[in-house]
Amino acid sequence: MEETLLLKDLNCPNCAAKIEDRIRKMDVVETANFTIATHQLKLTGSWEDREALKRDIQDICDAIEEGVTVADYERKSKAAMDDHDHDHGSDAVTIAVIVAGLLFMAYEGLTTVVPSIGLPESIETPIYYIAYILLAFPVLRIAGRNILKGQVFDENFLMSIATLGAIAIDALPEAVGVILFYRIGEFFEEKATDRSRTEIMNAVDMRPQEVRVVDTCCGGEIVVMAPEKVEVGSTIEVRPGDLIPLDGTVLEGETRVNTAPVTGEPVPVRAVPGTQLMSGCINESGRITMRVDKVLEESMVTKILDAVENAASSKPKIDRFITRFARVYTPIVVFLALAVAIIPSLITGEWNKWIYTALTFLVISCPCALVLSVPLAFFSGIGNASKHGILLKGGRVIEALANVKAVALDKTGTITSGEFKVHSVETVGSHVSSSQLLSMAAAIEAVSTHPIATSIVSEAKVQGITVEASDFVQELAGEGMVGMTDGQQVLVGNRRLMERYAVQGYPTEAAEYGTEVLVAEGNTYLGRIIIADEARPDSAEAIADLNSQDIKTVMLTGDAEASANYIAKETGVSAVRAQLLPQDKLSVVQEIRSEYGPTMFVGDGINDAPVLAGADVGGAMGSGADAAIEAADVVFMRPSLTAIAHILDLSKATLRVAWQNVVFAIAVKILIMALGLMGYASMWWAVFGDTGVSILCILNSIRILRR
């Protein structure tokens, strides 16, 4: 049984990890995965009463983090998502308290510079206490409540002990200053997190806010409706500049469609009646009407959003490591603070000095900067990939991509376009011209639906040749076709067909590239047609990008060695494995992994499912079909190899930023603790090491989205 719930207003990553751990230990729950970036809690298990499950989870949330609400997951409309869920009244109170605190600190600064303007101590001290109570009351209240529930090592408890300890050693002004800057940092940290989350979701959420439905019952009147209310079969209007709101088929009009928001393809495509369009694309030039083929929940814009949300819930190894690290980090630092307060004081007798240093340790012991920055970095990477038409299956895939040393590429449909075309027509002597040879072959092949036959007939029509199907055509499996044209027997096929009919004079050497179709009249060889699947225009550039990243590129194909080498030479592929049967590809990928290291396989995502599953990372080239999305770890919505180089580079950058955040946060905390021991760092420094570093890590993470 699976369930998705929302844990609203759960913004503390440390508390989120505790809640997730407690939920995971419930008897009826098998797996629990909370994503702080989307507030979604995904569960699997065997509960019978869903409402009882929600109540139990709510009790866990109440015991750990005040104000968290367990709600049913219901995807909001785009318009609703644009509205913030925050309590603006609560924000106003927080801002007012902070402003009052800043005014108080301004007074403190002035009296330090000009002592003569200060108030008498009998007045000043009560003001300090009033300021402290106003600023610290929410923190003290939550800390006290959590202590009663057995939740000790959280940021509220640590800040309460630190500031109350400062008051106890006659550092009242500093206690006020520390709690003030903690509240300011906490406020801006929450805002920065929400802003980052919103920016990432807006980048990948292409759902429409409204749809213009043509009311066929009222003379074609336009009715503006919410997208989730539009049914399959409805007729909708899409004006120039509008987003294609739902998947459908063009009924009337002609236009150019920008597919870049979905596929990353920068060149607009032509759309005419009968053209199928994906939602999320942009209508650039003409007014069109469309028949809706899929409701909003089944359209491409929702599939992309689902893929991104599911990817965000798949946590990478670094995230799991940091979560485990945070569980032991805080208790260790707290006990270290206790040791710093007692041991040096017993030796030196300077209790105030060492207690103050210990309080600095308490402030710095909160692991929020560590726990929050990593998932946001990976979520930004997933969002960036989605903007470029690349869907990822999770943070673990980003880690695997960052370590890839070789890319195995299926030839047909990946390096090449997958569409057979006539590459050249070769004739022998003066028996026939190239156009006559093409006409004879097309007449025989016209009755076949084989891709090679279709390509010959299509080329004949392109050259203006009228194709009339021959009579008495016979197909010989694995050899070719035989038919009658103008009373003469015409053979169109491979060498085995020529041998069967004792044809003389056909070349002993196979064509350097492509598939050859030999043509004979009677037993006289006339020439051959070379059918080729040509490399994509951007394949050479993409392979060069991969080579520049020191990625080994290997092409896998069932074609003959000569044809494979021709494409490899044309595109710059490092190595070739030719004449492979479908079942051979998996073992070849395993050989490549043994030779070069972690390997990514890129194929069509449907026929190559075993290889996609067997590679370290499986990538599917295609248009985002359901089968491709299911089969692969990475789905390239636009069939372009340049996306492979981009996602490998992006994954390395994402992992690099995540580690930057971790190293920076830990380094700052260790530095401040060391400076505190030497008597240089104050509690104010410690506040920066907690909330200030969190904000910097959040801003560093969001850079990936704009990469």
Phi, psi of 599 (to 5 degrees): -125, 135
The token pair at 52 is 């009882």
Q: In sequence order, what are the residues at sequence separation of 6 or more whose Cβ sits closer than 8 angstroms to the Cβ of residue 569?
A: none
410 an active-site residue? yes
| 83/622 Cα distance (integer angstroms) | 35
How large is the C-alpha radius of gyration of the chain?
A: 34
| 648/551 Cα distance (integer angstroms) | 10
Active-site residue, from 154, 205, 410, 604: 410
Question: From start to end of 522-661, where are the E strands?
Answer: 524-535, 552-556, 575-577, 599-603, 617-621, 634-636
| 542/639 Cα distance (integer angstroms) | 12
The token pair at 618 is 């499986």
Element (H, E) at 677: helix 642-677
**What is the residue type of 249?**
T
Give pairs for 507-513: CB < 8 Å, separation 24+: 510/560, 510/562, 511/562, 511/563, 512/562, 512/563, 512/566, 513/423, 513/562, 513/563, 513/566, 513/567
User: Residue 360, CB half-sphere, CA atoms under 13 Å: how many?
Assistant: 27
| Closest C-alpha among 369, 329, 323, 66 to residue 193 | 369
Q: Is 208 helix (H, G, I), strand (E, B) or coil?
A: coil
Phi, psi of 524 (to 5 degrees): -105, 120
Give the catalytic positions in this structure: 410
